[in-house]
Structure 1
Amino acid sequence: MKQPHNPTDDKPMVDNRPQIDVPTATETMNAETATGPGLSYWQLVRRRFLRNRYGVVGLIGCLLIVITAVFSGFIAPYDGETKDRTAIYSPPQMPKVFAPEGGLTRPYVLGYAEEMDPNTFEIKFVPDPEVRHNLALFVKGDPWTFLGLEFETHLVGTTDGGFVHLLGTDSLGRDVFSRMVEGTRVTLLMGFLVMAASCFIGTIVGVSSGYFGGVFDMLVQRIVEFVRSFPDLPLYLALVAILPRRADPITVFILFASILVLLRWADLSRELRGKVISLRSMDYVRSAVAVGASDQRIIGRHIVPNTSSHIIVWATYQLPEVILLESFLSFLGVGVQAPMVSWGTMLNQVRDFQSFAAAPWLMAPVGMIVISVLAFNAFGDGLRDAMDPYSND
């Protein structure tokens, strides 16, 4: 039987399904170019790191601190042991650019005059308009050496050869700013030495233990557990206490760094052992074993490169920890010894409340410690995120 004609049948069909945009060939090529096909792993790490503002700021801070340490003799106005006998516990001198009579002038600082409070009989420092020192860049001063060469030019100083104490002076009249800049070199040197030695020992022990396994792995892990079983702080104090106090300061510095290394390599070795155990079962490692590659080649060409990202990130976090530890032990008087200057030895002068109340500017190295720790931690965070370029932001 013939069905009746329905007028709606003549209307075009409407597709209500969601439309999917198919990219054109040009769009696909542009997308591939944006993602950077063919880039190496380290190129991807660099690209991802540069997009991390927090990490870039940390890197800039780290570079500035390292530059300060390398060129400390040029940046510091005076040698760390230079004494100004006329300024004991002198407050910081703030640079001024406005002349007393009004208007702008070249930067200068005012000296201080001592006055006694008639009620408390306490000595106070008040600005003395009669003592004025004009500031200038690239002035001659105390000699300093760099790479065996001797120089006398400093970044900032006075035109008349007088003293300028931007952060005040200590109990012997030594410039706090100059000593803080000089201490940057010693503190960072300690941090880099301990970090590098710990990375070297921990990498060798951890990779060897995880790769060879067996009885060797069992013996090595028992040694690692023995080292990690000691409480850090009491052992540090006990070991540092036996250092010869009459020895040369450089000898004490090296022995102090060795003690720190002795107890800091174990954590990295344990972490690398676990990663190597998982890597040695990968196909490319088994293929290398099948073709007869030696253990040294497999470790050097396949195992260690694939653990380098973990080693680098661990090192960036280890450095601020060593800086804090060295500053703390030197503050207690059991770390770096005079005449070497570090941030911790400078803080050793304000262990009692009276010294802090009389000269709070002696706490200036605390600012450098905080800035350094924050900078290296920020750099480590950015580097940790960049080491996984294929993860989602």
Structure 2
Amino acid sequence: MNDIQTVSTFAPIERADAEASQGRLIFKALRRHKLAMLGGIVVVILYFVALFCEFLAPFNPEEARSSAVFHPPQALHFIDFDDDGGWAIKPHVRAMKLTRDKLTLATTFVPHTEQKIYLSFFGKGTQYKLWNLIPLDRHLLVSSDPSKRFYLLGADRLGRDVLSRLAHGTRVSMSIGLVGVGVSLVLGLILGGISGYVGGIVDGVIQRVVELIMSLPTIPLWLGLGAALPMDWSPTTRYFAITVILSLIGWPELARVVRGRFLALRTEDFVIAAKLDGGGPQRVIFRHMMPSMVSHIIASVTLAIPGMLIAETALSFLGLGLTPPTISWGVLLKEAQNISTMAQAPWLFLPAIAVSIAVLALNFFGDGLRDAADPYAQGSH
């Protein structure tokens, strides 16, 4: 009786898994991977910040104030207590005043015990164009008094708000990895697909080119190509040039993955049947072979984005990539090159933390996606 009940209990689950689509099985396997889900949430948040950085940034990232040079971060408080012991929910920060040490003459910021800067959500602030198209003046968080500034993540050596610059840098750094991987994906699919499907001499030539590029030392190659860019180019031109450089370096790894999958699939029964049915190479590749490896391609792309992100950050940090007035995490990290500056304003190292979080999140998500790419194998464990 117990055996009969066991069969009747598990049979519907197995039938549902057998009839589910590949995408649903992958998502089901991915949900069991806690680190991958956490990484995916972080990645979504980062791209949300990149998409709406003008709205999330409280101020213009290029607006400098001499009175706020190396202004320290201010803690955000939500509960405000009055003199009578009552309280209310009022977001605010403690104001800080600039003082000078009598012995060293060094300037420091000290909390102003009596003055508070009240903040409001979705208030009107500096005007901007969302995606350079839609004129708006609403920000996520603004000061109730426009004459008073607040610095949740501090200010840099020119008195510019680090939070605003970090939000705008997220757009450039995260998008250059996405665009670069997109170009690498096209090159990898075309050359890797031709290599794996045609084989023979064509496969040998393409693989020798792949091995040649992969044998080159990566960092010196980045530095050499980055240094070859004219310094008088506009920020937009340098942005696309860096993207192309990173793409030309990053495609061989993806091409090898695609070639390996094509070599495994071209002897499968459904591929042979498609060829015998009169299907040409283009139809066999795009209608039969490509759909069966979409999940593996997505996983490979997800794992390739961190490499692009680190490459851009390293080039910009060394002054060979993006340059001001373009704002990226690598450009922001140039502010942290000076040891004395870091001792005075350690919050300028925050872009490095952002890079670390982004790389870890993308790697966790990519690893989980790669493990979930074969849901039938997952269910057999």
Instruction: Mark yes or no: TM-score above 0.5.
Output: yes
Aligned to 1:159: 144
1:25, distance to aligned residue in structure 2 (A): 6.8
Aligned to 1:99: 81
Tell me whether 1:170 sits opposite 2:170 in the alignment.
no
Pair 1:23–1:89, CA change in 2 (3 A)? same
SS at match of 1:293: coil
Q: 1:67 aligns with which of 48, 51, 55?
A: 48
Amino acid at match of 1:104: W
1:381, distance to aligned residue in structure 2 (A): 1.9
Separation (CA, whole Å) in 2 of partners of 1:248 and 1:365:
23
| Cα shift readout 1:296-350 (whole Å, capped 9, x = no counterpart) | 0001112222222221111111112211221121111111111110111111011
Tell me whether 1:49 sits opposite 2:30 in the alignment.
yes
Aligned to 1:325: 311
Q: 1:134 aligns with which of 111, 118, 138?
A: 118
SS at match of 1:335: coil
SS at match of 2:18: coil
| Cα shift readout 1:201-232 (whole Å, capped 9, x = no counterpart) | 11110011110112221221222122122111
Amino acid at match of 2:233: A
Tell me whether 1:373 sits opposite 2:359 in the alignment.
yes
Under a length normalisation based on structure 2, what TM-score does the superposition of the two structures give? 0.93
Pair 1:242–1:100, CA change in 2 (3 A)? farther
Aligned to 2:255: 269
SS at match of 2:110: strand
Aligned to 2:58: 77
Tell me whether 1:149 sits opposite 2:134 in the alignment.
yes
Contact 2:312 2:330 in 1 (8 A): yes
1:194, distance to aligned residue in structure 2 (A): 0.7
SS at match of 1:114: strand
SS at match of 1:86: helix
Separation (CA, whole Å) in 2 of partners of 1:238 and 1:271:
27
Tell me whether 1:289 sits opposite 2:275 in the alignment.
yes
Aligned to 1:220: 206
| Cα shift readout 1:252-276 (whole Å, capped 9, x = no counterpart) | 1111111111111011112221221
Gaps of 5+ in 2: none
1:22, distance to aligned residue in structure 2 (A): 4.6
Pair 1:188–1:22, CA change in 2 (3 A)? same
| Cα shift readout 1:69-92 (whole Å, capped 9, x = no counterpart) | 101000100111012232111101
Separation (CA, whole Å) in 1 of partners of 2:10 and 2:263:
40
Tell me whether 1:21 sits opposite 2:3 in the alignment.
yes
Separation (CA, whole Å) in 2 of partners of 1:31 and 1:107:
50
Separation (CA, whole Å) in 2 of partners of 1:331 and 1:386:
36
| Cα shift readout 1:125-146 (whole Å, capped 9, x = no counterpart) | 1112354311111111122222
Separation (CA, whole Å) in 2 of partners of 1:251 and 1:340:
11
Q: Which structure has the bigger radius of gyration?
A: 1
Separation (CA, whole Å) in 1 of partners of 2:284 and 2:68:
64
Amino acid at match of 2:136: F
- Aligned residue pairs total 374
Tell me whether 1:355 sits opposite 2:341 in the alignment.
yes
Gaps of 5+ in 1: 1-18
Higher helix share: 2
Under a length normalisation based on structure 1, what TM-score does the superposition of the two structures give? 0.90
Contact 2:55 2:130 in 1 (8 A): no
Separation (CA, whole Å) in 2 of partners of 1:212 and 1:246:
44
Contact 1:84 1:163 in 2 (8 A): no
Q: 2:18 aligns with which of 14, 37, 54?
A: 37
